[in-house]
Amino acid sequence: MSPVKQLVESTIADNKVAIFSKSWCPYCARAKKLLTTYPGLDQSDVKILELDLRDDGSEIQSYLQSSTGQRTVPNIFINQEHIGGSDDLSALERSGKLKTLVAA
């Protein structure tokens, strides 16, 4: 297994919430704010990888695209389930399904 694949897969498997982000992205900021302050989630439940601040960030983004079909950030996983991006996260919150996912 490549180091990038191993990093991505272990980040997803070892954390309740994994967010693959870019530090300058306003959509990422919105998703990070929602998930780091969400009731029932502790700061330690949320792992954020800022791809623009990592040497292997573009490789991680390419791997995520090949495994999820999504190249854009944020790329969000909750309980190892690919959620999608910021709009997908907002839709889950509005529908009440985010609460169920977080509680699982």
Q: What is the pLDDT of residues 70-94, one digit of tens each?
A: 999 999 999 999 999 999 999 999 9
Determine if the pTM surpasses 0.85.
Answer: yes
Mean pLDDT of the region 58-68: 96
How far is 104 from 101, CA to CA, in rounded Å?
Answer: 5
What residue ranges do the domains of the chain occupy? 3-103
Q: What pLDDT shows up at residue 25? A: 97
More confidently predicted of 101 and 50: 50
User: Is the CB of residue 65 less than 8 Å from the CB of residue 71?
Assistant: yes
Q: Which CATH number fits domain 3-103: 3.50.50.60, 3.40.30.10, 3.40.190.10, 3.40.1190.20?
A: 3.40.30.10
What is the pLDDT confidence band of residue 28, given thresholds at 50, 70 and 90?
A: very high
